[in-house]
Amino acid sequence: MSRGETPLDDRYVGARRRTSATMGEVLAEFWRHPSPYLLATCLLAAVTGRVLAGPGSAYELLIPVGLVALLPVVEWVVHVVILHWRPRRVGPITLDPLLARKHRAHHADPRAIPLVFIPWQAQLWLAPAWTALAWLVTPTTSAMFTLLTAVYAIKSTYEWTHYLLHSDYRPRSAWFRKVWRNHRLHHYKSEHYWFTVTSAGTADRLFGTAPDPSTVPTSPTVQRLHSQDA
């Protein structure tokens, strides 16, 4: 890069540059919020259940492998369909789920750390929902707890990664810089692209939402999702 040239991470991303925080500082902040504790509790309960269930079948190893392989697609679908849900009127009722409302607030102020996390209210009903689903789709108790352990390990990884992307921590590894840049483009360039969070250029390429940033105009509604003003 020649002298005076704008770094690639800032060229297409109209966000204020952040200060640099240490990993220790951002880790301490992470544990000041309820979501990590709720996820850690569920993960610990799932691991305990798996240990108490005893030896299982070898096929259970396919459960976490399959979930990790599907993660980019699941992230993309959840982000597009649920988090970017446009409020809809059905007679006198407005369908506007909590997750969608919280995500609009997150887009309005990406620097607000409390809005980065999965809402604790949603986690209270997601925990029994995941347990019921795991019980329905698995043939044995050990497989059920293997599934729940994998789900909560993945959710905890997602929560940490998403938080870290919005923290004042500056990426160092090449992998993390790609993920960081991908997510910044979604928040500061255009809300219509770059939907994956824990990876970059995976499901977005599959679904055609990973264009060259230089070809995408900055969206006037990137921080005002579904605004009718633009």
CA nearest neighbour of 168 among 6, 33, 24: 24
Partnered with residue 95 across adjacent β-strands are: 88
pLDDT averages per 10-residue partition of the chain, 230 residues: 38 54 93 97 98 93 96 97 94 93 96 96 95 96 98 98 94 91 96 96 95 96 75
pLDDT value for 64: 97
pLDDT value for 106: 97
Question: 83: part of which helix (H) or strand (E)?
Answer: none
pLDDT in tens, 40-68: 999 999 999 999 999 989 999 999 999 99
Question: E strands within the chain?
Answer: 88-90, 93-95
Locate the domains of the chain by residue range. 21-171
pLDDT value for 171: 81
CA nearest neighbour of 184 among 113, 112, 110, 83: 110
Partnered with residue 93 across adjacent β-strands are: 90
pTM of the complete model beyond 0.95: no
Residue 180: both structure tokens together: 């960081």
* Residue 168 to residue 29: CA distance in whole angstroms: 11
pLDDT value for 170: 86
pLDDT value for 226: 82
pLDDT value for 67: 97
pLDDT value for 18: 55
Q: Would you give the distance in Å from CA 68 to the centre of its chain?
A: 14
